[in-house]
Structure formats: structure tokens, C-alpha cells
Amino acid sequence: MVVLGGLIPLDDRVSWVPAGSAGFQPSNCYLLTEGQSRLLVDSGLAVHSQEILADLAGLIGEGGSVSMFFTRSEMDCVSNLEPIARRFDIERLFTGGVINPFDAFDDLSRMALRGRRHQIDEKRTGEGDSLARAAQIEVAPGRVLEIESPLLRLLPTFWGWDEETGTLFTSDTFTHGVMDRPDSPRIIDSTIQDTTTAEQVAGHLYAKYEWIPRSTCEPLREWLSEKFAALDPEIIAPSRGCVLRGRDVVRRHLDFMLTALTPQRAYLTPQPA
């Protein structure tokens, strides 16, 4: 798996982070490769299109083929669909919800690409179950990306689980990892000093999900605990924020998230990152 994307300088113009945030937040998309097959998870922000296109060309060759999976139909995930489609061959596009990402294209491009779109639908496994596994995306024969709709979300959102690399793609959750400087590591692992706090995680969580402090969070805690216990991921890969790598790192940040979702924590005023 390769991480692509640029950095977002944090200040009060960025609405999805806590007020007073500083530093830099990575904007991420991810390329999975199996043999000659490739799947791009999200496409990053439009402001980073040139570096994403250049990195893709270096990885798959100019005009190469790639499939795409959007975790959400929001601009930080879909912005670069058109420039990627104009430069590379999109074999398949996996999206959920009711928004057609091709609607912004001209008529010729829309007609040419419409047949390559695959709809991901939410479904339940049984009465009383939370939204559960929705689909499998075949990256290549013998390798699949499991797709699931998480309980923690606003708009239609999908997480992806890549058992091959132990990576859980969490879209707009676990986005709290920020960098002090542009040249700081964009991956938090055991080789660096991790200064993340529960207050920082809570601040980023509440900035995105402003309803959490007024909600009963126990179902979210139970769902997250059960999901991570079942998968035991090695890597958390969000659409924004630092990648979290290593099971000890993942467990620590899961604990931060669970703490942020406790009733007493939800009514505290989080500190800026």
C-alpha cells in the first residue's frame, strides 16, 4: 500500500478541525496493488491534484489502468476523479449513496464512464443489527477489500478492510493525527514520539461530529470495540490525518477514541490540537 496526497495547513479557515488548531494535516488517498491490478482508495483534495497525478503516473505509468473506491461522496474524497479519469484508464468505480460522481463531467465523459460505476449499498445482517458488511471489492483474484458502513458517520460512509496488509480505511474517523512541520513524519508508528492525547482526539472528533456531546455514545463504543477486536488491524488509514501503524499504536489510539466517546468525556470542552 502506498499513501498519496498533500498537506493542509491548519488554521481557523479549516472547518473540520478544532478552533485554534495549528500544524499540518495530511490529506490521503491510498493505492493498493496486486500483480497488475490496482485500486485507489479515495482521490484526495483538488488542491493536491498535480502531486497526486504525478505520483500515480510514477506508480502505474502514464495512462495506466486503475480502479477507484470512494469512502464518501464528499470533496476531500472525490475531488480528483475528473483529472484522474482524463489522464488514466478507470476500469471500475465503486461508490455508495445516491450521488453520482460523474454528474460533474461533460456529457461525453459521463457516457463513457457510466458503465464502469458499481454501486455499494448498505444492508443489515439481521433484525437489530447495526449496519454491517455491504460488499467486497475484488482488488485481484484472491484478494478482496471488505466494505462496511460504520455506525459512526454523518453522510453515507464506507470503511474498507484489507486483510492482506492489515489496513482499516476509516474515511473521516481517526483524523486527529497532525504534523508539527511539513517535513514531520505523516505516519505515526513506534519509531517516533507520539504526543497524541485523548483531548486532541476528542477535539477532532467533536469538530466533525458535533452531535456527539449531546448523544448516547455507548453503542458507538461497543461497535468500535467489537470491530477492532474482530479485525485486530495493523494500520488505520484515514482520508485525513496521519496514518497510524503498528498494533500497539492502533490500540492506543482506539483507547483515545473510546475515551472521547465516554459520557463524562463527551461533556468536557476539548483542548485544541
Secondary structure (H, E, C), the chain: CEEECCEEECCCCCCCCCCCCCCEEEECEEEEEECCEEEEECCCCHHHHHHHHHHHHHHHCCCCEEEEECCECCHHHHCCHHHHHHHCEEEEEEEECCCCHHHHCCHHHHHHHHCCEEEECCCECCCCCCECEEEEEEEECCEEEEEECCCCCCCCECEEEECCCCEEEEECCCCCCCECCCCCCCEECCCCCCCCCHHHHHHHHHHHCCCHHHCCCHHHHHHHHHHHHHHCCCEEEECECCEEECHHHHHHHHHHHHHHCCHHHHCCCCCCC
Which residues does the chain have with pLDDT short of 50?
Answer: 108, 124-133, 266-267, 269-273
pLDDT at position 105 is: 55
pLDDT at position 111 is: 54
Here the cell at position 148 is 462496511
pLDDT at position 216 is: 83
* In contact, 192 and 185? CB cutoff 8 Å: yes
pLDDT at position 122 is: 59
Give the end-to-end CA distance of the chain in Å, rounded to a whole number. 28
pLDDT at position 132 is: 39
